[in-house]
Structure 1
């Protein structure tokens, strides 16, 4: 496995043709609800995968449908881009559709690839270049893609209440995961790019007569490394990473539910639960080893950044130790080298 593939599992490929996925609802159906979109609408992050598109029973569309008694056609699919929604999902819409929800656009601007690049040590990554590439797509291509998709949705579901959601800010300025190397500046840049994406979603959705559901306010204080966090950090399995967990999907339901129906979303009473996002030391070490820090090319990059190649090689070797204390110290030392190199 190459270092480029380390975090590629953050978003699953979802370009295959979709089938209608119905999740049972509670009570008599009060309307026809179609949930379109990407992994954030499919419920990735809830650790309850149902099919190849994920479509979790803990995803916010399932929660909203159950609470309001809506008949749900669950079309959202992990990895979907605007083109995938247009090609594979909007066929579920018709004149009888009463409610539509969606998050879309993150994959268009390269969500997984940007995070993959930025999660590496600073001396061997080009985080700023990856973010700039995503911003170029956001500026030059995504506005037209939204115009086309939203026009199609309105034509196919002329009687529906359509709510398009934004994305929460993932980072809080801290990187508490043992095997990622996000700097505070990188996290700020990633959050800034998310703000720009949300601004575009808001302007295009409202211009189409849709409602924009802003997740940033309610998710404030619940980013990765917050307590409690509503967004997973780097997780096992990897596809759960950097997506809202079950609590985060309840948060989304509290945003989408009222926007779709005009009435508050009252979450079912449940015993307090804690999402486990801890990565065991051995798993962390194995993931860093897959970055291949000790290849000649990456050691040369370290030297160019003022980082001792010998020290990188020594610490990388310690990651293979059977002593978890040695491994933990090596991980901490590698993170310290990354901070010093910046």
Structure 2
């Protein structure tokens, strides 16, 4: 580089779903029952300015290409977002997999029917866990292969896992976690553990870094003290339920920062 020439901008591409988009962190609030501004189609609810990719980009002084989108599955990230990764990209974060098998539907069922239909609620959660174990690895392999094909040698890729959304045991004084019995809490935590284990294994196989937020979010799940994860939100803001709040996004940014800081 010639003396006096400006250094090229550091480019950071953020891929992922609603957790990466900061849904539930506010600024702006996601005033919707789902990922869409109105109904079940049209514009998506906007990404939060408090989402961890924006915080990380600011700390790095990076140019952020934020492709994270509420409701995205790993297949949608591969098809619609990963094209943003180029040979000019220096850093990629990717948080995907949670939505691949319709996890929202069991949560809604459990909220409406648990109790008295705890067994059915837990079975539906467990079925998702099985798909995380058996089907998700192939989905992630295709996504990560796409990233590998597009990125340059030396670009850093960080896979971000998911925090637990409920504590190990239910509480008597907080109903934000659905007032579900312990068995449902444990089923949800097993699902998150399986999801993170699959993400970690695939990240390692591709030479990527993996961020596991579970330990840092311990005691800070919904109904935690303080809570870094939203509990069940009103219907008009239902999409924010069980997503990291602003403090949770700050925590995710700090965890990612440990892997990407100069």
Distance 1:178 1:87 in 2: 35
Shift, 1:29, TM fit? 7.5
Q: Which residue of 1 aligns with 2:187?
A: 189
8 A Cα contact 2:12 2:65, kept in partner:
yes
Residues 194-239 of structure 1, C-alpha deviations (whole Å, 9 max, x = no match): 1111011000011011100010111112111011100000113111
Assess, with a 3 A threshold, how the Cα gap between structure 1 residues 182 and 47 changes in structure 2: closer, same or farther.
Answer: same
Moved more, 221-230 or 110-119: 110-119
2:61 to 66, 69, 73: 69
Distance 2:68 2:20 in 1: 6
Distance 1:31 1:235 in 2: 37
Q: How does 1:72-83 map to 2 (within 5 A)?
A: 72-83=64-75
Whichever structure has more strand as a proportion of its residues is 2
Point out where structure 2 has 5 or more consecutive residues left out of the alignment. 1-6, 30-42
Distance 2:261 2:102 in 1: 32
Give TM-score scaled by structure 1 length: 0.65
Q: Which residue of 1 aligns with 2:4?
A: none
Whichever structure has more helix as a proportion of its residues is 1
Give TM-score scaled by structure 2 length: 0.84
- Whether 2:150 is the aligned partner of 1:156: answer yes
Q: Which residue of 2 aligns with 1:136?
A: 130
1:221 to 219, 222, 242: 219
8 A Cα contact 1:162 1:260, kept in partner:
no
Shift, 1:154, TM fit? 1.1
Task: Report the 3-state secondary structure (helix = DSSP H, G, I; strand = E; otherwise coil) of the residue aligned with 1:218.
Answer: coil
Aligned alpha-carbon RMSD (Å):
1.9
Q: Which residue of 1 aligns with 2:255?
A: 255
Distance 2:57 2:212 in 1: 20
2:25 to 35, 40, 46: 46
Q: Which residue of 1 aligns with 2:116?
A: 123
Distance 1:258 1:246 in 2: 19
Distance 2:128 2:247 in 1: 28
2:170 to 168, 174, 177: 174
Assess, with a 3 A threshold, how the Cα gap between structure 1 residues 193 and 179 changes in structure 2: closer, same or farther.
Answer: closer
Distance 2:179 2:53 in 1: 33
1:198 to 183, 196, 199: 196
Shift, 1:84, TM fit? 0.5
Q: Which residue of 2 aligns with 1:270?
A: none
Task: Report the 3-state secondary structure (helix = DSSP H, G, I; strand = E; otherwise coil) of the residue aligned with 1:36.
Answer: strand
Distance 1:83 1:133 in 2: 20
8 A Cα contact 2:170 2:179, kept in partner:
no
Pair member with larger Rg: 1
Residues 163-190 of structure 1, C-alpha deviations (whole Å, 9 max, x = no match): 0011111111225226934111110111
- Whether 2:140 is the aligned partner of 1:146: answer yes
Point out where structure 1 has 5 or more consecutive residues left out of the alignment. 1-27, 263-342
1:113 to 82, 105, 110: 105
Task: Report the 3-state secondary structure (helix = DSSP H, G, I; strand = E; otherwise coil) of the residue aligned with 1:122.
Answer: coil
8 A Cα contact 1:118 1:181, kept in partner:
no
